[in-house]
Structure 1
Amino acid sequence: MSFDIDVSVRRGESLIAARFATGPGATVLFGPSGVGKTSILQMVAGLLRPESGHVRVDGETLFDGAARIDVPPEQRRIGYVFQEPRLFPHMRVGANLRYGMRQAGGDRDGVVAMLGIGHLLDRWPRTLSGGEARRVAIGRALLSGPRVLLLDEPLSSLDRGRRGEILDALVAVRDTTGIPILMVTHDPDEAERIATAIVRL
């Protein structure tokens, strides 16, 4: 089982909670803006500490409030792609990808081919379109050797054509790598296209 999540946290006056267990493939957290989808993603990544519950990925416990287990984020082997690509502006695309490989190795040529970014390797991040930058960010996350890939609204602010390109890339990642995906979106078309399981919030 890829994900076994039961978490809750209070932020201001709101209680954010989710409980789900899903298998391999892509699990989509689906719901309107402001419902807490990103907070749930952050709890899985270890960037936000739940007040109770547990986080288990592929049978390994990353957080358990009752057992006082809380694996640090850097030890969770999670690839996280934020809403903004967050590429290093002082590094060309190729160097950004190599940075992801520093500790994990990885098949750079395979990832580059799968995402169609070979022609971008000598480019500076500031020269990339939104869709190109997202594909590079996904590639860097994949090359870090993650056990799971977390995607926070990876298609936000992109036009329809660019969204289609990124969705194609994500389907390839899902079907080719076998790495479980946990993705946040509020777009029903995106959810239906990529998801093998949908968690409605």
Structure 2
Amino acid sequence: MTLSVRISHPFPAFRLDVDLEAPEGVTAIFGPSGAGKTTIINAVAGLFLPHSGCITSRGATFFDSDRRINLPTQKRQVGYVFQDHRLFPHLDVKANLNFGRRARKIGENRADFDRIVSMLGLEQLLGRSPFALSGGEKQRVAIGRALLSAPEVLLLDEPLASLDQMRRQEILPYLERLRDEARLPILYVSHSVSEVARLSNQVLVIDQGQQSVLGPVGDVFAHPHAAGRMGAEDLGAVLFAKVHAHHSDGVTELASAGGRLFLPKTNADIGAFQRVRIRAQDVMLSRQKPEQISALNVLSGTIVDISKDPDQSGKGVLVRVRCGDDLLLSRITLRSLNALDLRVGEPIYAVLKTVSVARGDVGQG
């Protein structure tokens, strides 16, 4: 099941041009405010009419300017979750969940209802009023309501933007389950680097209406062209690894393509896949394999790219390192680059302290 979005539209400040294929899983649309992110999903939902293009899902045409097709919103099988939950205050959680199904005249399916309630952890909330729910609980109900309307595509417009950090961490595991179990194309609009890194399968970086980078999350986060959109502190790469062991000294050991990774202890089961966001500023480089150092993580790789650091005004560089199937990014100074005489194609060791990886940067693979 794939969603295809090819649209173009002139605005006073910029021109929106998008060519996107979104398969099952989460495609994050990432960029600064005013870049055109919400406009894209509004076009999919039928809430915005592009000047030209074509939008199709599962063989159904939502919009085609050449054929003068523009399916009304209510006839597009799309679920939409907004920044604010928009629950009905006079209905309890169960009635809110069932509203979308009834509005589309979909027959009751108890198995689907129970599956979605379980996936989103709503079992204990069904009889509650929206007034008795936390912000994270309200958003989980809104997502459940959208799923119970049997959509072919799910659109999430910055669903965590109104939540504090604690509530965001509360809901993220449920969004990971949604990504892995819903079997739907999900467009996830966000300007949060940590959310995109943890949840997305592929990422579209958009700026002033133009596609900057599009690809798998691991490739995009290590792409030099995406660096300027992420900011100095958030810039980094996403690695995928399998939990190998939990050690008694509070460290979890993962097996990655570039070698063993040691992180602060996680709750993941042995054998589970994890994704780890590693900030470029936390990665040191060494020509020789370092020994007798406190940093536990030493990954072997090959330099594939050296580019200017957009946040260093020409005083630093970004070094992209391939470790097996993964890409890693390191921010170093020009002095370090020259001292090590680093060149593309040469072997290198990437060094990372275990405590540099925060719990919020580790999620389900």
For 2:173, the equivalent position in structure 1 comes to 168
Distance change >3 Å, CA 24–CA 15, structure 1 → 2: same
| C-alpha distance in 1 between matches for 2:3 and 2:100 | 24
Gapped regions of structure 1 (runs ≥ 5): none
CA distance in 2, matches of 1:11, 1:41: 16
Q: Deviations over 1:35-64 (max 9, x none)?
A: 111111100110111110111123322101
SS in 2 for 1:20: strand
**Structure 2: how far apart are the matches of 1:3 and 1:101?**
22
Gaps of 5+ in 2: 207-365
What residue is the counterpart of 2:192 in the other structure? Answer: 187
Task: Find the counterpart in structure 2 of residue 48 from structure 1.
Answer: 48
Q: Is the 8 A contact 2:28 2:202 kept in 1?
A: yes
Amino acid at match of 2:152: R
Other-structure match for 1:144 = 149
Determine the structure 2 residue equivalent to 1:93: 93
Residue 205 of structure 2 is matched in structure 1 by 200
| 1:84 match: secondary structure | coil
Which residues in structure 2 correspond to 1:20-31 (within 5 Å)?
20-31=20-31
Amino acid of the structure 2 residue aligned with 1:68: R
Per the TM alignment, residue 161 of structure 1 is displaced from its structure 2 partner at its CA by: 2.4
Partners of 1:26 and 1:34 in 2: CA distance: 21
**What is residue 4 of structure 1 aligned with on the other side?**
4
TM-score normalized by the length of structure 2: 0.53
Q: Using the TM superposition, give the Cα deviation of residue 11 of structure 1 relative to its aligned residue in structure 2, in angstroms.
A: 4.1
- 1:19 alignment partner AA: D
Kept after mapping to 2: 8 A contact 1:17/1:40:
no
State yes or no: 1:111 paired with 2:113: no
Return the offset for 1:99: 1.1
In structure 2, relative to structure 1, the CA distance for the partners of 1:67 and 1:7 (3 Å cut) is: same
Q: Radius of gyration: which is bigger? A: 2
Q: Match for 1:120 among 109, 118, 125?
A: 125
Deviations 1:59-89 (A, max 9, x none): 3221010111111111111000011100011
**SS in structure 2 of the partner of residue 47 of structure 1:** coil
Return the structure number with greater strand share. 2
Structure 1 Cα separation of the partners of residues 82 and 44 of structure 2: 14
Task: For 1:111, give the aligned amino acid.
Answer: I
Inter-partner Cα distance in structure 1 for 2:162 and 2:22: 28
TM-score (norm 1): 0.94
Q: 2:295 aligns to what?
A: none
Deviation larger for 166-175 or 25-34: 166-175
Q: Is the 8 A contact 1:2 1:22 kept in 2?
A: yes
2:174 corresponds to 1:158: no
The RMSD of aligned alpha carbons is 1.4
User: Structure 2: how far apart are the matches of 1:90 and 1:11?
Assistant: 40
Q: Kindly, what percent of the aligned residue pairs are identical?
A: 48
Contact 1:6 1:54 in 2 (8 A): yes
By how many angstroms is 1:100 displaced? Answer: 1.9
* 1:36 match: 36
**Match of 1:164, SS?**
helix
> How many angstroms apart in 2 are the aligned matches of 1:49 and 1:78?
16
Secondary structure (helix, strand or coil) at the match of 2:97 reads helix
Matching residue's letter, 1:144? S
Deviation at 1:13, TM superposition (A): 3.7
Q: Distance in 1 between matches of 2:24 and 2:97?
A: 26
* Structure whose residues are more often helix by fraction: 1
Q: Take 1:94 and 1:126, find their aligned partners in 2: how far apart are those partners?
A: 14
Q: How many residues align?
A: 201
Structure 2 letter corresponding to 1:164: Q
Distance 1:165 1:8 in 2: 37
- Residues 173 and 179 of structure 1 are in contact (CA less than 8 Å); yes or no, is this contact kept in structure 2? no
